[in-house]
Amino acid sequence: MRNIVLIGFMGTGKSAVGKLLARRLGWTFIDTDRRVEARERATIAQIFARRGEHYFRESEARVIAELAGRRDTVVATGGGAVLRPENMMHLRRHGWVVSLTATADVLQQRLNNGKNRPLLGGHVQSNAVARLLDQRRPLYRDADLLIDVSQGSPAKIVEAIVSFMGKRERRVVAVRLEGRSYPVYVGDGILPLLPLDLDALRAGKKVAVVTHRAVLRGVGQHLVTGLRGWDYDVTTVEVPAGEESKSLVVAARILTRLARERFDRHSTVLALGGGVVGDLAGFVAATYMRGVRFVQAPTTLLAMVDSSIGGKTGVNHAGIKNLVGAFYQPRTVVADVGLLATLPDRELRSGLAEIIKTAVIGDAVLFEYLEQHLSAIRRRETEPLIEVVARCAAFKARVVEADELEVSERRILNYGHTIGHAVEVATRRGRLTHGEAIAIGMALEGELAQRLGATDSGTVERQNGLLARAGLPVALRGVNTRALWRALALDKKRLNGVLRAPLLVGIGEVRREQEVPNALLQEVLSRASGARRLRAKPQPAR
């Protein structure tokens, strides 16, 4: 997000507001007057007396120029900083300018001790305040947000600023479900605005942050600090990294922890992590006291564009993925692409597989955008990331709105996953990421669609070409074909022993769950892996 720059006449409370705002956002607070005093080793009054106003303004300008490149900072400027256009040019480059205003009478009452106000002299005169205010008023009005501080407390002013940031810094995708609609916020650095959303939900003050230790040590600690700055009672719940966390045993431990901490039905469970954390925390939120508020704050690209939206929650059991679960929609999703800066490259590519899948099944414009901007996305440039995450969220929202419980339209989201999930099962644990397996699944299911006459070779080549450019595998290598076939035989989408899967038609279009003959499926898999032909042994669905 952009910095917040506070301007305004002396006595408007810039320092008090700035300190509180920084504490609640978990940001750094800098007062330019105090920074100048520290460098000069003298008070502002002493600087004026010894070296004059011009010297002070020069020193102030140097400090402001140095601050311009900072991030996550609240800057409170001196009352006269606006007098130099270059100061405001520097501050606007990476910041929203918020002007705190008040009438001359109010300011005079506040400035009842002018010993450190050199421009006012030792005794504050009403005409001196009015004169300076009249000179600077046009400059104070040149701001992104003006707030009259005459009546409001610092806390109320901070709430107004955060509300402004929420509107300016985030793209909003609405998931419209009857009685359970919720927003998906997409932006850069927007996670500190989450308390604003909790307040809108009228959530209770108890929040459980479910996350991994590595996440908690980084962005998680900043989030927890920010929540506590808004007076939330935060309980952190660490779970082990990896699929092993998605179990009834781990879920039971979290449920016990919530009970011991006396969480009630107004409390919130916040998932801060990837898809595993989201699925687990969502299941806990759905079952604790028959349902408490649930918020998703995904930290991986894959979770931002897929698992955090739509309400699928669950844990693995009896060796079967997501055997126990529920459809339980979050109340808010915060997709902060700034969190992707430290995401390992392989995990970023894994998320790209889901984005390309989205484009292939339902958004030809997104596919073209990816073809043009893939390099920028892989470099993690902010605007392209926001664009693709928002477009994927919008598509997922439309599908979920049409078919929340996955009885019809939502099944198109399984494209690439039928074979992809089987590839995950058939390979050694950790050898392939979820996205890599899905990319292979898309390539093979594309070939099935071509063999069945649903699509043409050009469409399949275009899909596979983009996957390859994203650094994803499109060939079946080193996979035990017998294990792959066993996994497919247990696929829940089988009907009377015949597999059903979405079929690619064209970029942006798939057919929903068509029958795939066992003989053709076995032939495509055997040829792709270079294995000898296997005899199909279909089994009933489980």
510-520 pLDDT, tens digit each: 998 788 888 89
Could you say which of 35, 312, 391, 493 is catalytic?
312
Supply the angle between the helices 345-362 and 382-402 in degrees, to the nearest 10: 50
Task: State the pLDDT at residue 536.
Answer: 38
For domain 3-167, give the fold: Rossmann fold (3.40.50)
Q: Any catalytic annotation for residue 414?
A: yes
Q: Are 517 and 460 in contact (CB under 8 A)?
A: no
Q: Any catalytic annotation for residue 417?
A: yes
For domain 170-343, give the fold: Rossmann fold (3.40.50)
Q: Any catalytic annotation for residue 431?
A: no
Which residue, among 218, 280, 270, 221, has the nearest Cα to 249 in the 3D structure?
A: 280
Per DSSP bridges, beta strands 332-336 and 293-298 are: parallel
pTM metric for this prediction: 0.89
Within 363-490, where are the H helices? 364-378, 382-402, 417-426, 434-451, 457-469, 481-489
- Which residues lie across from 98 on neighbouring strands? 6, 145
Q: Any catalytic annotation for residue 94?
A: no
CB atoms within 10 A of CB 162: 19
Q: Any catalytic annotation for residue 113?
A: no
Q: Please state the domain extents for the chain.
A: 3-167, 170-343, 409-529
Could you say which of 354, 436, 447, 513 is catalytic?
354
Task: State the pLDDT at residue 129.
Answer: 84
Q: Any catalytic annotation for residue 317?
A: no
Q: Any catalytic annotation for residue 115?
A: no
**Exposure string over 200-224, b if 16+ CB within 10 A, otherwise e:** eeebbebbbbbbbeebbeebbeebb
Could you say which of 434, 493, 494, 500 is catalytic?
434
Could you say which of 396, 411, 493, 494 is catalytic?
396
> Among 3.40.920.10, 3.40.50.2300, 1.20.140.10, 1.20.1090.10, what is the CATH number of 409-529?
1.20.1090.10
Task: State the pLDDT at residue 489.
Answer: 76
Could you say which of 24, 391, 421, 493 is catalytic?
421
Could you say which of 357, 417, 493, 494 is catalytic?
417
Distance CA 33, CA 27 (A): 19
Give yes or no on whether 170-343 and 409-529 have one common fold.
no
* Average pLDDT taken over every residue of the chain: 91
Q: Any catalytic annotation for residue 290?
A: yes
Could you say which of 54, 167, 260, 290 is catalytic?
290
Could you say which of 206, 410, 411, 493 is catalytic?
410
Residue segments in the chain with a per-residue pLDDT below the cut of 50: 114, 531-542
Edge-to-edge strand ranges of the sheet holding 28-31: 28-31, 73-76, 3-8, 95-101, 145-148
